Structure 1
Amino acid sequence: MNTTTFKIFSKISELPENWDVVAVENAFLQTPYLKVLENSAPTNMQCFYIGIYQANELIGVALAQYLNLLKLESFGERDKCLKTAVRNFVFKNFAGHVLFLGNNMITGQNSYTFSKELDTQTISKVLKDCADALIVYFKKQNINIHLVSFKDFYQYKASELKRYDFASVYEFNTQPNMIFELSDNWKTKEDYVASFSKKYRDQYKRAHKKCESILLKELSLTEIIAQEEHIYELYHHVAKNAPFNTFFLAKNHFSSFKEQLKDQFVLAGYFLEDKLIGFHTLLLNGTVLETYFLGYDSEVQKEKMLYLNMLYNMTEYGIKNKFKKIIFGRTALEIKSSIGAEPVMMSGFIMHRNKLINKYIGKIFTKLEPETEWQQRHPFK
């Protein structure tokens, strides 16, 4: 059996030439996207790029992120309650320095990819060893990592990892990933709408009518740069009103994304009387359409059912361009299910480096994680 080793890089310029050949299956691990992180990561985030080798051959790539939560302006302002206050106190005092093996900015199994089959036992050991190496790296800089999290894994992969090095690591489930498997029978948006039951077809018509006065337009790099400040304001309004945040994007994030990924990244603007009042973003990831960040004017969103129309428009884009599925991510579960997305549970693993806290990490986590009650909708006939 070949010995599996790894090397951690902190700069894109240091990466092996064949990095993208190994990462070909996942755009979130290819250098154009990694350059977006390098050029416009959140101010409290530092990224690391991990090459995994067998006999000096690069056979896998992975991503790690360090977050300094002490630099965060807000953990989220939507929920004003005692649990939120306690959670914020705990994070500031006992979880200020967090290491993620994976990508904390997106939902999905995007931690690593391999160009050849690797058994789960080896993968689990490599992930744990990478975390240990980064903990030592930060210790030399007088930074004590409090929490280590490994995210996200589909249930079957999490079960496999639990058989090996993750056996004693606390497994957690938060909100599911909303995934929309697009039917092969849908060739046009009319096919999609026709498949709804009457209730949800009426919902579509009502929402569509509300947005008749709004122009939807895909923005070029030049247009994104011209609107950058306003785009960020719309994003920031939505982000700060989320129930929980661990980062805020840099102001140049969207222009950097467009510059690096070009036609693979779509930023669609919503205009009312020539004024930008909302936007959504998409990443074209092979046969998968990945929804990314969005923003809107809350007053217009309420009046025009803007968010629901964004979901419909992203779905129609996926159908028109023959994608097999759309990853809608977490949050807004009920409304996403009303347009056809279904919940897929994902797991993460988390451990605290204080042994006493780690002993009770399961109980602490369930107390601090915001509860989400929602009803799944079934919109199709």
Structure 2
Amino acid sequence: MILHQCKVKNSDYKAQFFRAVEAIPAKIFQELHCTDNLYFNPKYLISLAENHPNIDFWYVILYDVHDSPIAFATIQIVDFFLENVQNDLKGIAEKIQKIGRRLGLITNRKPFKILTCGNTFVSGEHGIFIKSNQNKQQVIKELAKSVVQLVNDEKQFSYKISGFMLKDFIHESLFVSDELLEYNYHSFNVEPNMLMQIDKDWHNFSDYLGAMKTKFRVKAKKAMELSFPLDIVEIDESNLQKYLPEMEVLYKSVSSKAEFNLGSFNLESYGDLKKNLGENYLIKGYVLNGRLVGFLSAMINEANLDAHFVGIDYEYNREYAVYQRMLYDYIQIAIENKLKQINFGRTASEIKSSVGAEPQNLTIYFRHKNHIPNKILRFFINKIQPTPFSQKFPFKVKTLVAQN
């Protein structure tokens, strides 16, 4: 069922909006050739939507002048409270609140409704799929225009949309996404995405250790020794409910430290992700004397390993090197599965760089729906900067041998 369809204004393009992935004809996915990338696979998208009833999920199909599908975008409408902004961004959020209340633009009673084009739960360009051989600048512009048209047709929503956000564009895409600046969007960077290339000559974890400088190799071996008392268990559909209460506590202890959270991930999603994606979705638990003190989750997506959410009991983290062990386990998983790259995500940039990851800057575009608050936001958004960190270089002079 198509809930909304529109011809993009001043354009020959057409957009269709769906409220459920299941409503999108399979033929469209076949024509787009997008499902090999699991972020655009119905099995993954259904797992998220079914477990987050507090988020409105929409899906956009853009058609060209020949009525052929050329792009697919995922949309989530989330509640956002400025009070939830933490750390270095907290001061900026408080100033926005102060001015917004003075002008009557912000109240304490209602959250902002943010329409996000992108993946709320994962760092990277996982929200917009554009078919090959397309004019990406034009497609991004048409998608942005069609979303504004949807929101302006207010009968589609029982609430007011406060702002639009498109995330996360890598540096190489900025010549495309900067088209949005012409439509009164503001751009800013948050914490970088930490990426690590897997050398094609690494056949096991020992090969990885052998590529490291002595200082970092000693550090890795020390972490493995400290974490030796931990029992590592595979978590799947059979034992998820057993560990879930502890996992939720550990997840919240980590997520509460993040500067910028658009939404809280429902860990019940893990059951559907394991069921729908099978061996491509991994969850490991770290148990100390019968108590869960950490967990990691990850998705094998084509040739990449994408680190998803983790949970840590910080009381035991230093003594047993829980988080360091997780990072090394991610690396071991990638090597064993002959993958090319690990996407470690945001946060904890320095420790991730110490195991071999390098920063990838990501740009977010945001605009308030209304003109006056959008002009006010510009001055504050320009002040948002990623937290600086000391980049480590753990490998010997030899350049990593990239995989084909």
In the superposition, the TM-score normalised over structure 1's length comes to: 0.90
Residues 227-275 of structure 1 show CA distances to partners (whole Å, capped at 9, x for unaligned) of 2222222112211232332211224122222122221110111111232
Most deviating of 124-133 and 187-196: 124-133
- Structure 1 residue 29 displacement after superposition: 1.3
Q: Map residues 270-285 of structure 1 onto 2, 5 A cutoff.
A: 270-285=286-301
Residue 32 of structure 1 pairs with residue 48 of structure 2? no
Q: Map residues 299-318 of structure 1 onto 2, 5 A cutoff.
A: 299-318=315-334
Residues 308-342 of structure 1 show CA distances to partners (whole Å, capped at 9, x for unaligned) of 11011101110111110011111111001000000
Q: Map residues 109-148 of structure 1 onto 2, 5 A cutoff.
A: 109-138=125-154, 140-148=156-164
2:390 is matched with which residue?
375
Q: Which of 228, 232, 237 pairs up with 1:212?
A: 228
| Secondary structure at the counterpart of residue 227 of structure 1 | helix
Most deviating of 295-304 and 158-167: 158-167
Asked if the contact 1:75–1:88 (Cα under 8 Å) also holds between the matched residues in 2, the reply is: no
Q: Which of 227, 238, 244 pairs up with 2:260?
A: 244
Asked if the contact 1:4–1:52 (Cα under 8 Å) also holds between the matched residues in 2, the reply is: yes
Structure 1: gaps (5+ residues) = none
Q: Which of 13, 17, 40 pairs up with 2:22?
A: 13
Structure 2: gaps (5+ residues) = 1-10, 397-404
Matched residue type, 1:225: Q
- Structure 1 residue 141 displacement after superposition: 3.2
Q: Which of 74, 85, 101 pairs up with 2:117?
A: 101
Residues 170-224 of structure 1 show CA distances to partners (whole Å, capped at 9, x for unaligned) of 2222221111011111111001001111110111011111100112222221111
Q: Which of 5, 8, 13 pairs up with 1:4?
A: 13
The separation in 1 between residues aligned to 2:14 and 2:178, in whole angstroms, is 21
Most deviating of 188-197 and 162-171: 162-171
Matched residue type, 1:295: G
Matched residue type, 2:84: F
Matched residue type, 2:19: S
Matched residue type, 2:387: T
1:221 is matched with which residue?
237
Runs of 4+ in structure 1 off by over 3 angstroms are 76-92, 137-142, 163-168
Matched residue type, 1:275: R
2:4 is matched with which residue?
none
CA RMSD of aligned residues (A): 2.6
Q: 1:208 to 1:138 in 2, by over 3 A?
A: farther
Q: Which of 346, 371, 387 pairs up with 1:355?
A: 371
Asked if the contact 1:76–1:241 (Cα under 8 Å) also holds between the matched residues in 2, the reply is: no
| Secondary structure at the counterpart of residue 328 of structure 1 | strand
| Secondary structure at the counterpart of residue 378 of structure 1 | coil
Matched residue type, 1:297: D
The separation in 2 between residues aligned to 1:372 and 1:283, in whole angstroms, is 27
1:68 is matched with which residue?
79
Residues 35-65 of structure 1 show CA distances to partners (whole Å, capped at 9, x for unaligned) of 0121112x54211111222333333211011
Question: Could you tell me the percent identity over the aligned residues?
Answer: 25
| Secondary structure at the counterpart of residue 18 of structure 1 | helix
Asked if the contact 1:124–1:165 (Cα under 8 Å) also holds between the matched residues in 2, the reply is: no
Q: 1:309 to 1:157 in 2, by over 3 A?
A: same
Q: Map residues 271-350 of structure 1 onto 2, 5 A cutoff.
A: 271-350=287-366
Asked if the contact 1:26–1:113 (Cα under 8 Å) also holds between the matched residues in 2, the reply is: no
Asked if the contact 2:130–2:139 (Cα under 8 Å) also holds between the matched residues in 1, the reply is: no
2:209 is matched with which residue?
193
| Secondary structure at the counterpart of residue 61 of structure 1 | strand
Q: 1:273 to 1:174 in 2, by over 3 A?
A: same
The separation in 1 between residues aligned to 2:291 and 2:96, in whole angstroms, is 38
The separation in 1 between residues aligned to 2:260 and 2:184, in whole angstroms, is 27
Q: 1:230 to 1:76 in 2, by over 3 A?
A: farther
Asked if the contact 2:124–2:193 (Cα under 8 Å) also holds between the matched residues in 1, the reply is: yes
Residues 2-55 of structure 1 show CA distances to partners (whole Å, capped at 9, x for unaligned) of 9432211001221111344322242111101110121112x5421111122233
Matched residue type, 1:334: E
The separation in 1 between residues aligned to 2:178 and 2:322, in whole angstroms, is 42
